[in-house]
Chains A and B, each alone.
Chain A
Amino acid sequence: MGKLESVSRRSFLISTTVVGGGFAIGLQWTPSQAAGETAKDEPWAKAAAGSEFTPWISIAPDSTVTVRCAMPEIGNGVFTQSAMTVAEELHVDWSKIKVEYAPPLRNFLEKSVYTEAGGMMGYFSGRSTTAERIQLGLQLGAGARERLKAAAAAQWKVPVAEITTANSILTHTASGRTLKYGEVAAKAATVKLDKEPTPKPRSEWTLLGKATPSKLQNPAVVNGTAVYGMDIRLPGMVYAALRQAPAQGGSIKSLDASIARKMPGVLAVVTVDPKESAGFSDPKLQAPFGLEMCTAQNAVAVIATHYWQARKALDAVRIEWDDGAGAQWKTTETMNEAARALLDSKDLKVEKTEGDISSIDKQDKIIEGFYHTPYCDQAPMEPLNGTALVTPDSVEVWHPSQHSQQAFMVAAHETGLSPEKVVFHQTYVGGGFGRRVFGDDVRMVVAIARKYPGKPVHVIWSREESMRQGRYRAIVATNLRTGLDKTGYPVAVHGKYAIGSVGGTAGFHDTPYAFNKNFKVEGTKVPFNILSGAYRGPGYNSHAFITETFVDECAHAAGIDPLTYRLKLLEGYSDLGWVMCLKEAASKAGWGKSLPKGMGMGIAISNWAGNGKPQAGTTVATVATVEVSKAGKLKIHQLDVAFDTGGFLNRDAVVTEMVGGSIFGLNMALNENLTVRNGRVVEGNYDEYPMLRMGDTPTKINIHFGGLSGHERFCEPGEPPAGVAGPAVGNAIFAATGKRIRSMPFRLHDISWT
């Protein structure tokens, strides 16, 4: 720690002036510097910026442009996208643009400056390409550019119209004079324009949709200087290891920390009790995602000088747990049965009903299937963690959140302090996938730090703790039933589901397939003690699999090619993106070509975030080409993915998300499965919760652009591919072996054939 504390006040001031508060990218931080930067002072440094054009954008004397971003960078490239959007109008030298996080405190104090465009979702995951955000970025860039031109015009005493901008340089061609942006930034920032400029139309964009820059933070990632939540180092910081009630909802019966307290480095053994959460200082305050999903859990934490000491001492604490109501769930099977039994209940809640489903029973061919998906953990590579410094009248947090505004409010709620007293520093995030959205993690961090006030406490969940204390993709049990008419197509579909408990039926209730005219969807939630939450494509990640497997079963029962079958079911649908995606993926994969025995192709399509509306959300079709050995060993040779996001703004960013999302979807379908014993999640680490490695990944994951409809939206690419990779593979396995897989994970199924 001595080294950290020797960071002089002077160098600290210099570094904050460069940074402008918060985390700036592109700085080559040595780990010890990471300390001072964020430790004190205002979270934004107005003084040095001096040239702040709006709360979103500043230009420094050296021409560095700093753009603030309201979304956390979880690997989806929102920093780079935010910079690109501004640069489209600002004409900057790309090497001089930086992005930093918009501070939630400032948003709170200055009337939602960072959330007025994009609303509550402003701080959430990948919303950098919505129409509102694009418009905002372009407007910011254009506004700053015109102010720079006005300042230069005044200095040179020439008409503004004679000044051009490129590469962060203002030029007056007639006189051959130039100025760097930084040279007039201070003056430009004070310019009042009669009218804000109108950004150019999209047909004239030169960067958006054309350039494909590498992520801005990559230089810091590859040399290890990018600061994730785990990498926060602060003067005087101590470490905490925690253990929450192993049966979620349980409590501590008895605790003996006498041995642990005497172990080397141990500073304190503390407990967390949800009843001790202080609540909001003002009852009118709200958290954007509410507080229900982020209650504290009963827990024990050991605080020590070093993490390893804390962790070892935690193992030495003798804790007797009261498993509470969760204890009734003796095995996963009892839970699965409970969910399945509810499908026959008379009290299902009708979610959707269209036309008439009574015709189903009048058909000769009835197709009915029961489908199931298990608990899954998002398992981001960075385990849950966070750092907080709590004093009687302040709380300062450094955290890898997926929703900094939510996390900021949760910190206020846990301590009972007014949000004005909360400083929240967003760090880089080592993967989110929905796990870090609701703020249960930040609440636990603050709750522990409250028990050890005056020192920054860095709380680390071990991988085991991270995995066993999830907010999981819920168990889903679904029954689908249809009758096929003489031509082989469904006359109506009746779906019943039970979800335990968070998540909807996206990917099913919003289907555009023709059977949606005679359609009934009803279901219920199962009140398990195991906590569920958001997992890449919530609801959809189960129901795209279920729906697309079911439709495939119908096609095979009718003896119709599964691609032809889907195209027919989409006839007359006004969003042509669906058909384009199907055709593109199929033709690129060579759909229909003859394959040797044991090989097969499967297709699946769905839409995420469109909620059943045409020309909305992202549609993805995937064709999987697989080989199954007689013994039942699966090899996925190839995925062909076609998508319709409308258009795209950064082609390479879309490709990375499509590939990553497909691999995520494969892992979910093939591998992921959490089991429960006596209300406690069993699996704790990657040895028990397998992950695809490089050698298991298909060598060809081809992303095709021919499915793009060209509609004006730029919808997200990250979640949609995860839903269709699994059913495409499942359907391919059926084509190869005749074995139908109706539940995840596939690895538990025998797919051998003769």
Chain B
Amino acid sequence: MSVTLKINGQTHTVDADEDTPLLWVLRDHLGMTGTKYGCGIAQCGACTVHLDGAAARSCQIPVSALAGAEVTTIEGLSQNSDHPLQKVWVENNVPQCGYCQTGMIMAASALLKQVPHPTDAEIDMAVDNICRCGTYPRVRAAIHQAAEKLSS
């Protein structure tokens, strides 16, 4: 079927089977590979995007359910890779292999929109993505630091 999607402020029309998860539409139909596949069952968060501003795991959303929704992916998070989270991430050398990191950043940016100064517990709840490399302590510290930057 042909679906019209609004992604990062642009309209795209794709021809995809209706049960195709948004994840694969992004990656394989549209070539937007910043959103990653890790598990396909809502466990890992590597595929996190924003759906109407809130974090969502794109492996769980069939493309047919997206009419009228606004999707933001890592490619559209900022104009010049200059979202405070992205900057702090680089400054603090957060990534190891990096594969899970775009999902982490998307989950964190949705959180900071809702809760400008999250507690550790709020971060743990909202950013429960899997990182096999074990970047968690730095991810948490970087979210706090970005929260400071955003509010100052």
Contact = CB atoms under 8 A, between A and B. Distances in A.
B44 A31 contact: no
B101 interface: yes
Given A660-B134, A697-B137, A306 B95 contact: no
Given A382-B97, A431-B133, A686-B44, A233 B33 contact: yes
Given A3-B31, A218-B90, A218-B95, A381 B137 contact: no
A686 B130 CA distance: 9
Given A308-B24, A382-B99, 20 more contacts: A31-B33, A76-B96, A214-B91, A214-B93, A215-B95, A218-B98, A222-B85, A222-B89, A223-B102, A224-B74, A226-B98, A228-B36, A230-B36, A381-B133, A382-B36, A463-B39, A463-B40, A662-B134, A693-B129, A695-B125
A314 B91 CA distance: 44
Contacts of B148: none
A432 B132 CA distance: 10
A691 B132 contact: yes
A224 B34 contact: yes
A695 to B, nearest CB: 3
A239 B28 CA distance: 9
B127 A694 contact: yes
Interface in B1-59: 16-17, 19-21, 24, 27-29, 31-41, 43-44, 46
B124 A693 contact: yes
Interface string A363-389: 000000000000000011111000000
Interface in A378-430: 379-383, 428-430
Please report whether the interface of chain B is mostly helix, strand, loop or mixed according to DSSP: loop
Contact of A307 (B28, B74, B78, B85): B28
B92 A214 contact: yes
B110 interface: no
Nearest to B126: A694
Given A664-B134, A691-B132, A685 B41 contact: yes
B136 A652 contact: no
B133 A75 contact: yes
A74 B97 contact: yes
A576 interface: no
Q: Determine which residue in A215, A222, A430 has the highest number of CB atoms from chain B within 10 A of its CB, and name it.
A: A222
A737 to B, nearest CB: 26
A430 B97 contact: yes
A227 B85 CA distance: 21
B28 A699 contact: no
A661 B17 CA distance: 42
9 contacts: A222-B95, A223-B34, A230-B36, A230-B37, A380-B97, A431-B96, A463-B40, A656-B96, A656-B138
A31 B38 contact: no
A652 B95 CA distance: 12
Given A218-B90, A308-B20, A685-B41, A694 B136 contact: yes
Contact of B24 (A221, A225, A233, A306): A306
A57 interface: no
B46 A381 contact: yes
B21 to A, nearest CB: 7
B139 A224 contact: no
Contacts of A460: 37
A95 to B, nearest CB: 13
A224 B35 contact: yes
Interface string A656-674: 1001111110000000000
A217 interface: yes
Contact of A75 (B44, B77, B96, B127): B96
Please report whether the interface of chain A is mostly helix, strand, loop or mixed according to DSSP: loop
Interface in B63-92: 73-75, 77-78, 81, 85-86, 89-92
Interface string A65-108: 00000000011100000000000000000000000000000000
A699 B98 contact: no
B137 A659 contact: yes
Interface string A291-308: 000000000000000111
Contacts of B105: 222
Contact of A463 (B38, B99, B137, B139): B38
B41 A306 contact: no
B74 A685 contact: no
Contacts of B138: 656, 659
B132 A222 contact: no
Interface in A303-331: 306-309, 312
B147 interface: no
A578 interface: no
B107 to A, nearest CB: 10
A674 to B, nearest CB: 15
A694 B94 CA distance: 14
A212 B91 CA distance: 11
B97 A307 contact: no
Interface in A695-712: 695, 697, 699, 701
Contacts of A382: 36, 38, 97, 99
Interface string B110-122: 0000000000110
Given A225-B34, A381-B100, A652-B93, A663 B28 contact: no
B90 A431 contact: no
Interface in A672-695: 685-687, 691-695
A264 interface: yes
A98 to B, nearest CB: 16
Contacts of B96: 75-76, 431, 656, 660
Contact of A661 (B40, B75, B134): B134
Given A76-B96, A656-B96, A659-B137, A224 B33 contact: yes
Interface string A198-223: 00000000000000111101110111
A693 B98 contact: no
A462 interface: yes
B81 A223 contact: yes
A548 interface: no
Nearest to A3: B31
A187 B135 CA distance: 45
A653 B121 CA distance: 27
A44 interface: no
Closest 5 CB pairs of A and B: A224-B34, A430-B99, A75-B97, A663-B134, A695-B124
Given A230-B33, A308-B21, A430-B99, A215 B93 contact: yes
Contacts of A309: 17
A379 B92 contact: no
Q: Determine which residue in B39, B91, B99, B128 has the highest number of CB atoms from chain A within 10 A of its CB, and name it.
A: B99
Contact of B93 (A312, A656, A691): A656
A32 interface: yes
A431 to B, nearest CB: 4
A219 B78 CA distance: 13
Given A381-B130, A694-B124, A228 B99 contact: yes
B8 to A, nearest CB: 11
Nearest to A663: B134
